[in-house]
Structures are given as C-alpha cells and as structure tokens.
Structure 1
C-alpha cells in the first residue's frame, strides 16, 4: 500500500461500518436540534477552545492537525498561545497526552477518538448528550445520561452546568422524566447551552474541515455543467441540422 497506514484504514472502515448501527440505536430517542453553523467562525473558535480545555485531556483527535484551525480564522501564534498544550508544532495532530493503558484502568475503557464523532453520532445526539448528564449514585463515576444509559464518561462540564437530577413522574400507566437543576454551576442554562452549541459546532467542523470548500466547489461544478449543457445542446443541433 506504499505510504498508506493500514491501521488508519482499519479504524476508518470500522467507523463507517458502525455508523448505521449507531443511527439505528438512536431511533426512538428524543434529540434536541443542535443549532450549529459552520459559517460562524467566532462560534467555531469558541468551540475549539472548549474542546482543547475540557475534551482533549482524555479524548484525542488524532486525524485533525492544529494548523487546520487557520481555516476558522486563527493565526499560528493564536493557536500556539491559546490552544496547544500537548504539542509543540502547529503541524502536529491533536493527540492526547494520557496513555491508553492508564485511561483503560481509570475509566474501564479507552476514551474514543473524537475526530469524526459528529459524523458517526450526529450533531443532535452530541448536543443532547452534553446537556443530558444527571447525578446517579449507582454509577461508578456518579453520573448517568439521558441519551446514553450507563455511560462510562463522567460529566467533565458539571462545574459549568451544575448538578442535575432525573425526576420521574407517573401518569397512570405512563411515565415521564425530566431533568431538574438542583445545584447551579458557574453558567446559567442559556449560557451553558450556547457553549455546548459552540462545542458541537466545532466537532461537526472537525469531522470534515473541508466541507464548506467542498460545497462551494459543488456549486461551481453545477454552474459549469449547466453552462456546458447549453453549449452542448446548441453544438448538437449544429452537427445534426442537415440530418433532421
């Protein structure tokens, strides 16, 4: 295969095969609509900052390089000064400093790479998931999640959101559940939701950094095909005018 890394190919194939399974597993869950906008560079920059400060300590993004953050309006100096804590050069991938062996001992499983998590899980899932943690003393970490039951990940953003509890109400044979904030964090609910929206926005961008470029090129290609179609039509009429 030349210079192609077979381990990377295997991981990408596994992610591709797992995506339909994940999509089926999410059927029936109530997912809130993620208000992301890949054209909002300020949001993407805030999301990148949150990702580096709260996610990159455990989760890697090994298929994403720091220098791709130039695409969202950051300079090399801004990247170095504000976002690089586990690397020395902006051309390096966003690897995590924690060893996989240690992570497996501490959490029971190695935290997954988040480079394409938005492509496999979906933006709505991530937006709901990051706002759906609640206290659960039966879990080893003390936390559970409304869309990921028995989740192994602790709520790393709890100091910002605060503590929530899951309250279940019975209405005859039916039950409804809702999250109730019992201990406020440093952010209000709207502020926390906005921060999570920025983080999800960045995760969606990281899954395909060239998406906006691809879409713009797609428009140019369609315009060219439309123009060429007109030219081809009149050219065909010119070639066949003596036959018809």
Structure 2
C-alpha cells in the first residue's frame, strides 16, 4: 500500500473517530450552535423593525433586516462550531491519547486531518441547520441562481477550513480544555465587531477600521452579495485571500506545534 493510501486510510479512521465522539457527546455542539440561533432570533424579533427602517428606509418591514443579518449569522455559526474543535484537540493532547497514537503504526498527520475534516463537516451541517431556521422566520435569497449558491457554499466551506486550522493550533497550545475554549473565543467575538449586524459606515468613525480590516467583514459582504444580489466589489478576492492566509498560517502553526510536542 502506497504512502498516500495509508494517509487516506488513517485520516478516514480518525475522521470516523471524531464524528463518533461528536455523536456520543452532542452537548458542546448543541451549546455552540445555540449561540448564533439565539442571536438571530434576538436581533430579528427584538430589533428587526427598527433595524429594517435604518437599513431599508422608512416603511421597510422586518424582512429587510432578516436578509441583512443572515449572511453574518451563517459565518458566526462556523466561528462558534470551531471552538469545539479547539477543545477537542486540547483534550486529545492532555488526556494521553496522542501519546498512544505516536507509538502506533499510523500516518502522523492523520490525527490533525481527522480533526479538521470532522470540524468542517460539523460546521457545514450547523450552517444548514441555522439556514433552515433563517428560512423558517422569513429569509429569502433574491436573484441568486445556481452559480451564486455554489459560490456561496464554496466560500462557507473555505472559511470553515481556514478557521478550523486556526482552532486546531489554539487547541494544541492550550494546557487544558477550558483554556482552549477561552483562546478560541475570538472566533465568536470577531463577527460581533464586523458588518454582521450593522453596516460599517453606521459605526463610530474610530471603530470603522476595526470592523473593516478583519476577515469576517469581507466574507460577510461577499456572501451578502451572492445571496442578495448586492455589489461585491473587492470583498470577493479579499475574503478568499483571508481564507487562504488563515488556512496556511493555521496549517503550518498546527503541524509545527504537533511535531514538536512530545506529549
């Protein structure tokens, strides 16, 4: 059997292991999934009428804000999901299972690949579930054809891969699961500081650069443009560049830390 076949076999085994863990212990996944769902319902039903008037003009109904907020919530869902990845990786590192894997005849990188693949699958499933809630409360995509939907799905998957590799690195450097969860909290907080809930130009002037020059804002604006037919401008290539940069950074950070750590 070739080295590539062994790597694929072992990575598939590790993926199955992580999916079984997620199925047996669903409480963390559900807790992280509830955060974007509750924010979606909170902002739509408490602030939806006021925010719709600000975004769509006087007389705009709540649907205007639902359309505006859903792309940001979908990306926040990915950020919330990968927090669980950081915790899971930290648990593996501190509970001794990695030490056992190191003495077994398995492909060394399959442990991390299994975590990444499992996390991306969970993130995609979480996005689908949150998207279903959004549709149930009135979200409708305007002027989006099959190509736009495919591009939006590809962006979501690419964003999930990028954030997952960063989360894996955070899990590897954390001394315990609690610290891993705390280290990964920016994945949830950064969307709150982006254009997810209000336009950047409606924010205070001193804060606008913080919201504009971060990975979530161009990704949200690109997703918004694809699903709602608004302009994308430079946000498309900026979102892809952010995703690729974060994925490469997270990959080399995670693999170098994993290879150095004797535990």
Common fold: TM-score over 0.5: no
- With the length of structure 2 as denominator, give the TM-score of the two structures: 0.25
State which structure, 1 or 2, has the greater radius of gyration over its C-alpha atoms.
Answer: 1
Higher helix share: 2
Question: Which fold has the larger relative contact order, with Cα–Cα distance below 8 Å and residues 6 or more apart in sequence?
Answer: 2
- With the length of structure 1 as denominator, give the TM-score of the two structures: 0.26
